[in-house]
């Protein structure tokens, strides 16, 4: 018999070995963004860009052709690499190979889902068996759905019941719908700068705090009537907004990533989640943790287990289908999850959700088998230790070359800030500064892309040149080899002699 919520009793099983000193990191990040940009030396950048022309010529031709048929040439936001996207043909464990035969250390890991490394053979073989018998979809119940739900409930303290959906975006949509039904209140307070998918109401305040609807082209403004953002790590700002909302419809939910927006790019104090929990209880709002990135990556108990703070609803994505398609789900307390009861029963009000491909046998099986493998191999912790090694090594290089860069990590989520693009916010209280801030962000984003290109040319795939996800396939040797490559890039930074 499996022990429910076992991880709460075992705080040693988490990816984070030591929680970062948030004020110290924020001070360094603030210093970074107040200084002039330190990018690549002109000649070095030219050499890196020339590399792509010669070593990646087949990719270049293929992407040029794709641009005729696919808007922008690639289907996925994360695949937009400078100077042009590469075409990848093979992924295995910690490595990727491109169409021209170049081999890379993969710190993108598909944007988070492949915590075991890419395409693990034992999972693949079992998925193939399932495909041979059931195929990918029937629209009917398969026992892997139950196995997966039980596994999630076993590990996640805030989850009594689990419903699989098609993506993290869908799960966030379902979560706020339930919150409004359950509380009969109106507002959703999301942490500024966080991405909770691309649905209308949540396309608000994304990437940078204070952007409000700036990124939401094509969404009517009145969709945001009841969406608000609060400043990351600012409990007073949250409380002020909760208090104000009391008099105009109330707050249905506070929605946040428990390690901070954009996978902790802007880190939170360790006590912040607990403070938010207390405020939610005071104001009768549900606490929704978006654990699309952190669930299982921070440990089998997720970030909620690590912080020992129990949300009312938990949003899942990515790892929940083990890197296979249709990765989304919502878990939570029974009284809230009842709003998702599938089927045709009438009576209680239900939150409208759907999805032809949701909870198909393929994603349920891949998810369940992956969670079992994570458990068996202690993969969240192994990947976390790889993240520690990488971050420490980057820290040494930053010191060695006396660079203003900042490296920090939350286990296997590593941040390498060289320009700090994501650390800005829109200064609405000083409107005359907005245009200058936007220009500065734009210039820094360009240099961040160039850094990403340099890493790529050195054989390292990163997320947008500033985030690195480690996996359990990253051995010490692989991390050390990556550091040799980062060393080469850092030698080429302006001002390094
Ligand atoms: C924290 C968070 N929430 C939600 C999403 C959206 O998930 P999906 O891409 O599966 O729709 C993402 C995707 O990156 C995410 O990082």
Looking at ligand 1, which atom is closest to the CA of residue 257? 1
Q: What is the mean pLDDT of residues 212-238?
A: 96
Residue 40 bridge partners (DSSP): 493
pLDDT value, residue 489? 98
Q: Which among 76, 110, 293, 463 is the best mutation to test ligand 1's pocket, defined by most ligand atoms within 8 Å of the CB?
A: 293
pLDDT value, residue 11? 46
Looking at ligand 1, which atom is closest to the CA of residue 317? 10
Q: Which among 262, 318, 422 is the best mutation to test ligand 1's pocket, defined by most ligand atoms within 8 Å of the CB?
A: 318
In percent, how much of the chain has pLDDT > 70? 96
Out of 4-18, 304-318, 365-379, least confident range: 4-18
In the chain, count H helices and then E strands: 15, 14
Q: Is residue 403 pLDDT above 90, yes or no?
A: yes
Q: What are 24-81's pLDDT values in tens digits? A: 999 999 999 999 999 999 999 999 999 999 999 999 999 999 999 999 888 888 888 8
Q: Is residue 97 pLDDT above 70, yes or no?
A: yes
**Whether the Cβ atoms of residue 216 and residue 224 lie closer than 8 Å to each other:** yes
- What is the rounded average pLDDT for all residues in the chain? 95
pLDDT value, residue 461? 98
Q: pTM for this one?
A: 0.96
Residues having CB closer than 6 A to ligand 1 are: 111, 167-169, 172, 195-197, 257, 290, 292-293, 317, 327-328
For ligand 1, the distance from its centroid to the CA atom of residue 467, given in whole angstroms, is 15
Q: What is the mean pLDDT of residues 285-306?
A: 98
pLDDT value, residue 196? 98
User: Does an H or E element contain 33, and which?
Assistant: helix 22-34
Per-residue pLDDT band at 341 (split at 50, 70, 90)? confident
pLDDT value, residue 79? 85
Structure tokens at 210: 């204070």
Q: Which among 197, 263, 328 is the best mutation to test ligand 1's pocket, defined by most ligand atoms within 8 Å of the CB?
A: 197
Q: Is residue 344 pLDDT above 80, yes or no?
A: no
Looking at ligand 1, which atom is closest to the CA of residue 291? 1
- Stronger pLDDT, 264 or 497, i.e. the higher one: 264
For ligand 1, the distance from its centroid to the CA atom of residue 167, given in whole angstroms, is 7
pLDDT value, residue 80? 84
DSSP, res 99: T
CB neighbour list of residue 335: distance below 8 Å, 6 or more residues apart: 182
């Amino acid at each position: 018999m499996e022990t429910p919520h076992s991880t709460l009793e075992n705080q040693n099983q988490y990816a984070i070995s030591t929680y970062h000193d948030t004020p110290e990191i924020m001070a360094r990040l603030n210093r970074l963004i107040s200084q002039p940009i330190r990018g690549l030396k002109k000649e070095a950048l030219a050499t890196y860009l020339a590399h792509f022309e010669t070593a990646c010529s087949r990719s270049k031709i293929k992407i040029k052709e794709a641009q005729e048929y696919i808007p922008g040439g690639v289907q996925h936001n994360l695949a937009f690499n400078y100077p042009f996207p590469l075409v990848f043909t093979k992924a295995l464990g910690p490595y990727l190979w491109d169409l021209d035969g170049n081999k890379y250390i993969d710190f993108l890991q598909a944007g988070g889902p492949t915590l075991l490394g890419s395409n693990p053979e034992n999972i693949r073989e079992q998925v193939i068996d399932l495909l041979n018998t059931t195929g990918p979809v029937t629209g009917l119940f398969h026992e892997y759905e139950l196995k997966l739900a039980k596994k999630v409930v076993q590990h996640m303290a805030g989850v009594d019941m689990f419903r699989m959906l098609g993506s993290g975006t869908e799960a966030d949509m379902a979560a706020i719908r339930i919150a409004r039904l359950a509380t009969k209140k109106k507002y959703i307070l999301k942490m500024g700068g966080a991405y909770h998918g691309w649905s209308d109401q949540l396309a608000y305040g994304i990437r940078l705090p204070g952007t409000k609807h700036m990124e939401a082209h094509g969404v009517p403004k009145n969709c945001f009537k009841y969406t608000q953002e609060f400043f990351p790590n600012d409990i007073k700002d949250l409380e002020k907004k909760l208090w104000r909302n009391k008099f105009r419809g109330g707050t249905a939910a506070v929605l946040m990533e428990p390690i901070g927006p954009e996978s902790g790019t802007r880190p939170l104090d360790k006590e912040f989640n607990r403070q938010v929990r207390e405020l939610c209880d005071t104001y009768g709002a549900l606490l929704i943790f978006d654990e699309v990135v952190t669930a299982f990556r921070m440990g089998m108990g997720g970030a909620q287990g690590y912080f020992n703070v129990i949300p009312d609803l938990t949003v899942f994505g990515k790892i929940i289908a083990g890197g296979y398609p249709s990765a989304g789900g919502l878990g939570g307390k029974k009284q809230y999850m009842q709003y998702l009861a599938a089927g045709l029963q009438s009576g209680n009000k239900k939150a409208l959700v759907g999805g032809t491909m949701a909870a198909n046998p393929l994603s349920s099986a891949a998810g369940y088998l992956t969670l079992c493998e994570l458990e068996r191999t202690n993969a969240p912790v192994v990947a976390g230790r790889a993240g520690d090694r990488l971050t420490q090594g980057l820290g040494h290089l930053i010191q060695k070359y006396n660079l203003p860069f900042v490296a920090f990590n939350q286990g296997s989520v590593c941040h390498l800030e060289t320009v700090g693009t994501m650390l800005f916010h829109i200064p609405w209280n000083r409107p005359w500064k907005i245009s200058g801030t936007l220009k500065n962000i734009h210039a820094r984003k360009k240099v961040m892309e160039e850094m990403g290109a340099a890493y790529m040319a050195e054989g390292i795939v990163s997320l947008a040149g500033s985030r690195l996800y480690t996996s359990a396939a990253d051995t010490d040797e692989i991390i050390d080899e990556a550091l040799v490559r980062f060393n080469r890039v850092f030698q080429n930074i302006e001002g390094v002699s």
